[in-house]
């Protein structure tokens, strides 16, 4: 992976960030609709990257709840969905730029996540290491915590489940009884119904399943938006703290410079006074010698 941005291969932290409120989003959408997407390599701030993560999460959730539609959508169409979400939130990027950025941040997130999950004994956390220590361990040298947190919330559980890791206690009599009794109970239930009732029951079950999927998608979108807003707020708070710290340091520097200037002025005044006194003393000596 190429490290070609302000901090190697990672999110640029030098650009303004901020929360995306509904009013702000409307203004940004009106502006983005009048401007064409940027061409070539784009520069990404932390806030831009958080919007991209939210867009990718929504695209995945939409496809995972789409049933057969999931197979009909190509990779390029998926990135168009991501791009539309980004543009709707004021982030003017092309599908290719969104994909390239995702391919930058996802592998590094996985490296950090896997390292944090299996930290060797006596070793430091990624977040307490210096850049050199991270390089020595072949970890990303710089990765914003806000971006990692958002990736962890949205994609931290995005792992395949290994069936070999699932264990069933066969010694539990209740578990065995459930396995044996359930098929018989289902057979008796359907035998007691007419074909029409069975069809109605199956139709109702399909409707419930569809409603459940729609409800699940809605809940996922709501939770995702909450997560994005929280992450953006954290990023904004961090930016404000850094700004306040920079302002405080600048104020201290100005105070020090003013103090130095005042000190230099006093020194110059003292030099002038010494010279005046010296001239006065020499004049007095000269007059005394004339009188003698």
The answer to whether the CB of 29 falls within 8 A of the CB of 88 is yes
pLDDT tens for the chain, 292 residues: list them: 444 433 334 444 333 343 333 334 443 444 444 445 555 677 899 999 999 999 999 888 887 776 544 556 788 899 999 999 999 999 999 999 999 999 999 999 999 999 999 988 888 999 999 999 999 999 999 999 999 999 988 887 654 333 333 343 444 444 333 333 344 444 444 445 555 554 555 556 666 666 666 676 677 777 777 778 887 888 888 888 888 888 888 888 888 988 888 999 999 999 999 999 999 888 888 888 888 7
Using a cut of 0.75, tell me whether the model's pTM lies above it.
Answer: no
């Amino acid at each position: 992976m190429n490290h070609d941005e302000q901090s190697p291969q990672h999110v640029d932290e030098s650009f303004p960030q901020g929360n995306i409120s509904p009013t702000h989003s409307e203004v940004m959408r009106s502006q983005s609709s009048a401007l064409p997407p940027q061409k070539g390599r784009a520069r990404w701030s932390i806030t831009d990257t958080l919007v991209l993560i939210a867009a990718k999460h929504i695209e995945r959730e939409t496809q995972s709840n789409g049933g057969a539609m999931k197979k009909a959508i190509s990779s390029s169409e998926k990135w168009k969905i991501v791009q539309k979400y980004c543009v709707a939130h004021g982030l003017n990027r092309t599908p290719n730029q969104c994909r390239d950025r995702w391919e930058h941040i996802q592998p590094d997130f996985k490296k950090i996540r896997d390292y944090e999950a299996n930290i060797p004994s006596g070793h430091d956390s990624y977040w307490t290491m210096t850049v050199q220590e991270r390089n020595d361990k072949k970890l990303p040298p710089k990765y914003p915590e806000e971006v990692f947190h958002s990736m962890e919330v949205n994609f931290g559980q995005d792992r395949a489940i290994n069936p070999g890791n699932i264990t069933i206690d066969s010694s539990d009599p209740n578990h065995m009884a459930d396995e044996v009794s359930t098929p018989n109970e289902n057979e008796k239930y359907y035998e007691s119904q007419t074909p029409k009732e069975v069809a109605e029951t199956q139709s109702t079950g399909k409707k419930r399943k569809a409603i459940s999927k729609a409800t699940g998608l809605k809940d996922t979108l709501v939770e995702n938006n909450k997560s994005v807003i929280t992450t953006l707020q954290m990023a904004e708070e961090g930016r404000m703290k850094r700004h306040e710290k920079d302002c405080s340091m600048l104020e201290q520097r100005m105070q020090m410079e003013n103090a130095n200037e005042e000190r230099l002025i006093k020194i110059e005044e003292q030099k002038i006074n010494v010279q005046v006194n010296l001239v006065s003393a020499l004049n007095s000596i000269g007059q005394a010698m004339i009188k003698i």
